[in-house]
Structure 1
Amino acid sequence: MNRRLLAYFLLDTSGSMRGEPIAALNNGFNGLVSMLRSDPQAMDSLHLSVITYDREVTNLIPLVDLASFHPVEITCPESGPTHTGQALEMVYNLVKKEVIKGSADRKGDWKPLLFIFTDGKPSDLQKYKEMTPLIKSLDFGVIVGCAAGPKAEVSFLQELTDNVVKLDTTDSSTLTNFFQWVSSSIEMGSKTQGTGESMTLPPPPSELNIIV
């Protein structure tokens, strides 16, 4: 069996994403899948899992290899909270169950990747703070947090990862650029992990502000 590269996407679908933002998110994410399909290495090893979170947390697309991935429409409720902590708990449980560890007679999966997209901040702050150290303990190849739009707060994402990007808007062209950058990051991840080096992210386009 090939060594797999597992990429988990946490996508904020709270009420504030209604309208153009959720349409832009669908467009950008489907574009990401199309771009990745043109990379033979990604087609060979990449598996995707999509978790959406608002009041409910849903594993919208359970882990599937890139070739078998079928886009589904991401939707959001009219209003409601952003249960980011619960979403992290789901990711934690999935990663513990799905990532195959190496053993004496076989190589395990590559280090998994985690991408978190939000246009706000966690509503379940206590759960979020509980889950942050647990997520960090999982040895992800990289965790990328994206705070999109004027109400998105970067401080909570910074508790989770040093790789935080800020988007000023949630329109279609900005999200398309973000997901193009994510595509490059995943392709780079699949190449650098094979060399044993730690993963570095490609330089972002001008619309993405890296928070240092």
Structure 2
Amino acid sequence: MNRRLLAYFLLDTSGSMRGEPIVALNNGFNGLVSMLRSDPQAMESLHVSVITYDQNVNNIIPLVDLAHFSPVEIKCPDSGPTHTGRALEEVYHLVNRELIKGSSDKKGDWKPLLFIFTDGKPSDIQKYKEMIPRIKSLDFGVIVGCASGPKAEVSYLQELTDHVVKLDTTDVTTLTTFFQWVSSSIEMGSKSQGTGEAMILPPPPSELNLII
């Protein structure tokens, strides 16, 4: 069996995403999948899981290899909170269940990747802070946080990862640019892990502000 590269996407679908932002998110994410399908290495090893979170947390696309990925329309409610902590808890359980670990007689999966997109901040802050050390214990190859729009706060994402991107807007052009960069990051990650090196993110385009 080929070693797999598991990529988990946490996508904020709280009420504030209604309208143009959710349309932009759908366009950007579907574009990401199309770009990755042009990479033979991604087609061979990449498996994708999509979790949306608002007042509910849903694994709308359970882990599937790229060749069999079928896009679904990402929707959001009229209003409601952003349960980021519960979303991280869902990811924690999924990774523990789905990641194949190596042993003395076989190689396991590559280190998984986690991408978190939000246009606000966690509504369940206590749960969010509880989950941070548990998520870090999973030893992801990289965790990328994206804070999009004027109300998005980077400080909470910075508690989880050193790799945080700030987008000024949530329009189609900006989100498409972000997911193009994510595609490059995944392609680079699959190649670097194959050589045993630590994953290094590519430089972001000018529209993306990488928070140091």
TM-score by length of 2: 1.00
- Counterpart in 2 of 1:64? 64
Deviations along 1:153-186, whole A, 9 cap, x unmatched? 0000000000000000000000000000000000
Q: Which amino acid aligns with 1:61?
A: I
- Counterpart in 1 of 2:104? 104
SS of match in other structure, 2:194? helix
1:39-58 to 2 correspondence within 5 Å? 39-58=39-58
TM-score by length of 1: 1.00
Cα distance in 2 for partners of 1:2, 1:10 equals: 25
- Counterpart in 2 of 1:3? 3
SS of match in other structure, 1:102? coil
1:71-90 to 2 correspondence within 5 Å? 71-90=71-90
SS of match in other structure, 1:10? strand
- Counterpart in 1 of 2:93? 93
- Counterpart in 2 of 1:18? 18
How far 1:106 moved relative to its partner? 1.0
Cα distance in 2 for partners of 1:18, 1:206 equals: 26
Q: Which amino acid aligns with 2:94?
A: L
Q: Which amino acid aligns with 2:43?
A: M
Cα distance in 1 for partners of 2:123, 2:71 equals: 28
1:183-198 to 2 correspondence within 5 Å? 183-198=183-198
SS of match in other structure, 1:52? strand
SS of match in other structure, 1:157? helix
Q: Which amino acid aligns with 2:113?
A: L
Cα distance in 1 for partners of 2:5, 2:197 equals: 15
- Counterpart in 1 of 2:170? 170
Cα distance in 2 for partners of 1:33, 1:197 equals: 25
Structure 1: runs of 5 or more not aligned: none
Question: Where do 4+ consecutive residues of structure 1 move more than 3 Å?
Answer: none
Percent identity (aligned) = 84
Q: Which amino acid aligns with 2:85?
A: G
- Counterpart in 2 of 1:136? 136
- Counterpart in 2 of 1:150? 150
Deviations along 1:31-50, whole A, 9 cap, x unmatched? 00000000000000000000
Cα distance in 1 for partners of 2:163, 2:171 equals: 22
Cα distance in 2 for partners of 1:40, 1:194 equals: 14
Number of aligned residues: 212
Q: Which amino acid aligns with 2:165?
A: V
- Counterpart in 2 of 1:27? 27
Deviations along 1:172-209, whole A, 9 cap, x unmatched? 00000000000000000000001111000000011100
Structure 2: runs of 5 or more not aligned: none
